[in-house]
Amino acid sequence: MTREERVEKMAATLLEAEKRGTEIDKLVDQYPELDADLAYQVQDRLIEMKCHAENARIVGFKLGLTSVAKQKMMGVHEPTYGILLDSMQWPEEQPLPLTSLIHPKVEPEIAFVFKHEVRGPGISVPDILEATEYVMPALEIIDSRYRNFSFTLADVIADNSSSARFILGGAFFRPEQLDLRLMGMVFRKNGRIMATSTGAAVMGHPARAIAWLANKLGEAGKSIRAGEIVLSGALCAAAAIEEKDVFSVSFDGLGSLTAVFAHP
Ligand code: OOG
Ligand code: MG
């Protein structure tokens, strides 16, 4: 098989798993040559296929594994990114059905929306803050296509960093109105506190994760474009979701956001 044929096969396997809602074995078991670079090619092809299948368009990016809490939880110690499509966005008010998902989890994040393009290399925290139109609370619903939510770095990259859905909050703030580093966060499941954290849990400053993305994209001649959304990565461990659960995140100065999951 040529490299292109393998990329095609891996992307099709992941898309099929998502469509059917069934777990698959890690791709590295069958393709030991899968490394991070090849995995980003698989991710790109998977996104092309999804855009075509769902008549969807790209609206931004998500960071993965940008906090120590998440890296420990998943046993992967480097950040990754994935691509967000409009078909993944869910409105806050509407109960989200779990029926098409495999083993979904939810995690609190900070969303950045860009007023102008950011292109690496050499991007740092002040560049990100200057280019950001506003920040808002976000909840990401992740759903690894791999058995038992277990994967290597390359596997999770190929799987678009486990992305499934995302919900954005109604409060918009300019980044200079907040101290994103010291901004406290409370994450609740059915009213009970699951975790507390601060912005600094994400690489010391959430904008540092976004700068990492801009620099990583820059290596491939890509950029974050005006109007795009970028999710920072979770500030704490993800929580498994069951039907009828209600999760919320509150940020100091940035308001809160609730995710309601549908009845069976
Ligand atoms: C990988 C995606 C991680 C985050 O916010 O850290 C992620 C996973 O844990 O399945 O989205
Ligand atoms: Mg996430």
CA of 65 to the centre of ligand 1 (A): 5
- With a 6 Å cutoff on the Cβ, whether 254 touches ligand 1 is no
Quick check: 52 pLDDT over 90? yes
The two tokens of residue 75 are 């046993």
Using a CB cutoff of 8 Å and minimum separation of 24, what contacts does 225-229 make?
225/114, 225/117, 226/114, 226/115, 226/116, 226/117, 227/113, 227/114, 228/58, 228/59, 228/60, 228/61, 228/113, 228/114, 229/59, 229/60, 229/61, 229/84, 229/111, 229/112, 229/113, 229/168
pLDDT at residue number 160: 98
Quick check: 243 pLDDT over 90? yes
pLDDT band for position 264 (50/70/90)? confident
CA of 76 to the centre of ligand 2 (A): 14
- With a 6 Å cutoff on the Cβ, whether 159 touches ligand 1 is no
CA of 117 to the centre of ligand 2 (A): 22
pTM given for the model:
0.98
Quick check: 53 pLDDT over 90? yes
Q: What is the pLDDT of residues 6-26, one digit of tens each?
A: 999 999 999 999 999 999 999
Q: What is the pLDDT of residues 76-133, one digit of tens each?
A: 999 999 999 999 999 998 999 999 999 999 999 999 999 999 999 999 999 999 999 9
Rounded to 10°, the helix 3-20/36-54 angle is 50
Report DSSP state, residue 83. E
Q: What is the residue with the minimal CA distance to atom 10 of ligand 1?
A: 162
CA of 145 to the centre of ligand 2 (A): 15
Distance CA 56, CA 145 (A): 20
- With a 6 Å cutoff on the Cβ, whether 70 touches ligand 1 is yes
pLDDT band for position 166 (50/70/90)? very high
pLDDT band for position 170 (50/70/90)? confident
